[in-house]
Amino acid sequence: MINQQQLWDNEAAKQYDTPGEGMFSPDVLGPTVEVLSELAGDGAAIEFAIGTGRVAIPLAEAGVQVSGIELSHAMIARLREKVDEDRIPVVQGDMSRVRAEGSFTLAFLVFNTIANLLTQDEQVRCFENAASHLTPGGRFVVELWVPQLRSLPPGHGGTVEVSQPGYLLVDTYDVLRQHVVSHHVRFGPDLSDGRDARIGRTPHRYIWPSELDLMARIAGFELEARWAGWDRSEFTADSRSHVSVYRLIER
């Protein structure tokens, strides 16, 4: 059993923020906040797996009332260094089970985080939990990568996803359980602990877009839009990821 508290510990929280670069660059955050702000409208938003506030803080600065759910104590502590509880309230716990106070027009899960739930049952419960937070007609937005099984050579169980100076990302697949482990290899003279290389591993359960849509239907959602990214570009068979917008059906 994976101990998520150990996985997302103080060291992970400290390394997560890269201000102005990578996931934190204006080119990434600008379109993300624009889409989420539009979907929230005049209502409040809740982020599942809010982390250190990468998206929640600029969304709040854009005028949206934001709350969050987060499992990791370390991530919440890092968030609290930047904003207090009155500005962005956060409930600590499992995003597939924990309930936050209030009602919301928008719930969202970004950067593949739904895949941190390692069983299909947990992922379905996450959709059901999102539905329980939303007003009728509210939206649940999920950003998720598309499994790249077509790139697996015959007889091989892994792919090199990123190769950069000082960093290597290798994904290994268990196709029977729909599990993938991302191996993050950091190397070179910039390592603070003096080692030549450091390896971190994060497990995920990957989800096909069609399976994600079925989970949504079970929880009472319908697919409203799917794009290849936050720029709302067309999703195609060659897209490596997607942003899916589900609308809670009014009953």
pLDDT recorded at residue 110: 97
Q: What is the pLDDT of residue 22?
A: 79
Of 33-42, 51-60, 124-133, 155-164, the one with minimum mean pLDDT is: 155-164
From the centroid of its chain, how far is CA 170?
A: 19
Question: Which tens digit of pLDDT belongs to each residue from 17-66?
Answer: 677 777 889 999 999 999 999 999 999 999 999 999 999 999 999 999 99
Q: Please state which of the ranges 112-126, 180-194, 220-234 shows the lowest mean pLDDT.
A: 180-194
Burial of 83 (0-12, 13-18, 19+ CB in 10 A): middle
Q: pLDDT tens digit string along 1-12?
A: 455 555 555 666
Q: Is 52 helix (H, G, I), strand (E, B) or coil?
A: coil
pLDDT of 149 > 90? The answer is: no
pLDDT: is 20 or 130 the higher one?
Answer: 130
Answer for the pair 150, 175: CB distance below 8 angstroms, yes or no. no
What is the spatial distance between Cα 139 and Cα 121, in angstroms, rounded to a whole number? 21
Residue tagged 């609308």 (tokens): 247
* Average predicted confidence (pLDDT) for the chain: 90
Kindly list the strands in the beta sheet with 45-48, ordered across the sheet, starting from the edge strand earlier in the chain: 90-92, 66-70, 45-48, 104-109, 134-145, 241-248, 221-227
What CATH number was assigned to the domain covering residues 4-146+207-248?
A: 3.40.50.150
**Mean pLDDT lowest among 75-89, 107-121, 185-199:** 185-199
Helix (H, G, I), strand (E, B) or coil at 17: coil
Report the predicted TM-score, pTM, of the whole model to 2 decimal places.
0.88
Residue 197 and residue 193: Cα distance in Å, rounded?
9
The C-alpha atoms of residue 129 and residue 33 are separated, in whole angstroms, by: 23
Q: Which of 166, 62, 163 minimizes the C-alpha distance to 106?
A: 62
pLDDT category at 201 given cuts 50, 70, 90 is confident
Q: Which helix (H) or strand (E) holds 60?
A: helix 56-61
Comparing CA positions, the residue from 133, 10, 14 lying closest to residue 66 is: 133
Q: What is the rounded average pLDDT of the residues 190-209?
A: 80
- Is residue 13's pLDDT more than 60? no
Residue extents of the structural domains in the chain: 4-146+207-248, 149-204
Confidence check: pLDDT of 98 > 60 = yes
